[in-house]
């Protein structure tokens, strides 16, 4: 069965621009979580969506937002990009929630110049 698919794999954006990342979870998984991975901060939780509702949110500014569609696909948006937003953004899906364990996608590598 197909894994978690993230698009695009790589992205280069300019400061001040906005970006949208996409994640298609494993079929049947209703929970989608997003993480930011950087060398300095490691893996940091952004938010979790379940059945189109944001269920949990990490400590990120409002420039980071997301949504989930009825087919469980999720998008993450970052507005007014800053250099510090350069990171690997990982999407993870789970059957019913984080406590069941995730299946991660390969991530989107975002570079802000």
Residues in contact with other proteins by the rule CB under 8 A: 3, 35, 42-45, 48, 55-56, 58, 88, 90, 92, 97-107
Nearer to other proteins, 44 or 86 (CB): 44
Nearer to other proteins, 48 or 85 (CB): 48
Q: How far is the CB of 35 from other proteins (least distance, A)?
A: 8
Strand 108-112 relative to strand 10-13: parallel, antiparallel, unpaired?
A: parallel
Q: How far is the CB of 80 from other proteins (least distance, A)?
A: 25
Q: Is the dihedral of CA 22, 26, 48, 98 positive or negative?
A: negative
Distance, CA of 113 to CA of 5 (rounded, Å): 25
Place of tokens 């990342």: 21
Nearer to other proteins, 25 or 107 (CB): 107
Nearer to other proteins, 5 or 65 (CB): 5
The DSSP element (H or E) to which 54 belongs, if any, is strand 53-57
Q: Is the dihedral of CA 20, 47, 10, 30 positive or negative?
A: negative
Q: How far is the CB of 3 from other proteins (least distance, A)?
A: 8
Q: How far is the CB of 77 from other proteins (least distance, A)?
A: 21
């Amino acid at each position: 069965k197909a894994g978690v698919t993230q698009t695009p794999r790589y992205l280069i954006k300019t400061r001040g621009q906005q970006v949208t990342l996409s994640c298609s979870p494993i079929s049947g998984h209703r929970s989608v979580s997003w993480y930011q991975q950087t060398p300095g901060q490691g893996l940091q939780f952004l938010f979790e969506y379940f059945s189109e509702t944001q269920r949990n949110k990490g400590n990120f500014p409002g420039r980071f937002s997301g949504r989930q569609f009825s087919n469980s696909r999720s998008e993450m948006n970052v507005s007014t990009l800053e250099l510090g937003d350069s990171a690997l953004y990982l999407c993870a899906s789970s059957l019913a929630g984080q406590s069941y364990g995730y299946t991660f996608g390969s991530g989107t590598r975002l570079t802000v110049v």
